Each structure stands twice: as structure tokens, then as C-alpha cells.
Amino acid sequence: MKIYFNSIFYGLYLALLSGCCSFDETIYEYHPAGPVVDKPLADNCYVMPVMDIRPLAQRDVSTNINDDLYVSYIPLWPYSKSELNPLMKYDYFHLDLQDMFQILISKDLRSSGIFQNVKPVRFDENSEKPVFGYVIKLWITEAVWNRYLTTYGLMFVGTMLWDFGFPVSYGSVSMEFEAELIDAQTKNVIAKEKIRGETSCTEFSFYQMDYTPSVAEVKLCEIFPKLTSQLRAFVLKNISERK
């Protein structure tokens, strides 16, 4: 009987946690900032397909991320560090990181008002090719969840603390990409820039439920406005200097 009531209590506890952390995608839908200029400074901007040149470990989809021999079986082992793909579970960027990054960057530059037209370029015959205006090339060099898994030095017994509200892991999520601004007509590179954003990331057990994205994906979404504001400043500065 005691086991029966304990099971009911545990089930209600998890249900309460899941209700408190239900994920609302609309909160993280990207809404670009407004124009940064009164009128466009240039006619066309072509955003080329994004290249993902991250290390393999940052691109793989990891499994069993809580299975770690050190924190589970070595007494007093404080934590275990791993570098994971932030999009390891449920793909909030519904297609893939490269495609959606290109789409969102194009959306933000269009909203900035710097260009009359902003056009994402695709690798197909029907896609418009850059002729006049500016080209932006992007390379993703980093998108990583720096995750510090902990059982508080209690080995596998410490995992029980996760169910009582103790964090599963600490760490951060960061993203970095390289941007090139190119003259579409001459093909000359006008300027290059490295752009980076980072935020802290604390993970709780209810973030691992099947119907929600991992906390790392949510944090990646939070970083994006920081990245676009830096890209806007880079583009605006270099185009203004050519006027």
C-alpha cells in the first residue's frame, strides 16, 4: 500500500512539473527589430546558402546524454563536461539550422530597411543569382551546448535529486558565425566579421520530456537577436562608408 501511494505521489509530482514547464513556441517566435535607417541605402542584398563548418561533435545528434560513467560511478566526482549539438532533440528550427538561419537572417535584414530588396539564394536553377547589389555569405563556426552534468558527488543516487528540482546540468549555449559582405558586380570582398553570442543554460529534468524542445534549443533562440543586431551593425557600417 505504501508503494502504491508513493507511486501516485511521484506521478502527480511529475504531472505538476510538466504543467509548469509546458512550452509555448509563440514566445520564441522571432520578431525582428524595426528599421535602422529612414530610407534604403542600397537596392539588392543576396543572402547566400549558409555553410555549417562546425566540428563534428557539435553537429551530431547525441543520445543518452545522462549516461556518464564518471558522475554515476565515481564518488565525489563533481561534474562531467560535454559539448553537444543544441538541436539534439526536437528541431525547433523545423527544417535544419542552415536553412532556417538563412531565412531568419534574410527576414531580419529585410526588416532593417538597409536594402530595398533582400533575397535568399538557393542552390537550384530557378533561384535568382546575384548580379547587382551586395552579397552576404555566412559560415556557422560554432553552435554548441557546453553542458556540465552533475549528480552532486553522490553517483547514481544523486540523480534522485533531479526529480526534486535540483538542476541536472549547468553550462552555456553559444553560437558564432563568420560573415562576408561582397560586391555582387565585382565579386570583391568588402568586409569580413566574426559574430558571436552566448548565454547561460541551466537544465532541469522536466526539460527532457518528449514533447518539449531541450532547454539548449530555447537558449539558442534567445541568442539570435544578439547575433542579428551585430550583423546589422556590420552591414550598415560598411555600406554607409561606401556612400
Residue 50: the pLDDT is: 96
- Summarised one tens digit per residue, pLDDT across range 37-84 is 999 999 999 999 999 999 988 888 766 788 888 898 999 999 999 999
pTM of the model: 0.82
Residue 12: the pLDDT is: 36
Percent of the chain with pLDDT over 70: 82
Mean pLDDT value of segment 102-119: 96
| Per-residue DSSP letter, 203 | B
DSSP 159-183: HHHHTTT--SEEEEEEEEEEEEEEE
Residues 209, 168: Cα–Cα separation, whole Å: 13
- Summarised one tens digit per residue, pLDDT across range 173-182 is 999 999 999 9
Of 98, 106, 167, 169, whose CA–CA distance to 136 is shortest? 106
* 217 CB-near residues (< 8 Å, 6+ apart): 86, 87, 89, 90, 91, 92, 93
H helix runs in the chain, sequence order = 2-20, 56-59, 69-73, 97-112, 159-162, 215-240
- Summarised one tens digit per residue, pLDDT across range 141-172 is 999 999 999 999 999 999 999 999 999 999 99
Q: Which domains does the chain show, CATH number per domain?
A: 2-240 (3.40.50.10610)
User: Over 60: is that where the pLDDT of 92 sits?
Assistant: no
Please provide the average confidence, as pLDDT, over all residues in the chain. Answer: 84
User: Over 60: is that where the pLDDT of 11 sits?
Assistant: no
| Per-residue pLDDT band at 14 (split at 50, 70, 90) | very low
Neighbour count for residue 36 (Cβ, 10 Å):
15
User: Over 60: is that where the pLDDT of 226 sits?
Assistant: yes
Residue 64: the pLDDT is: 75
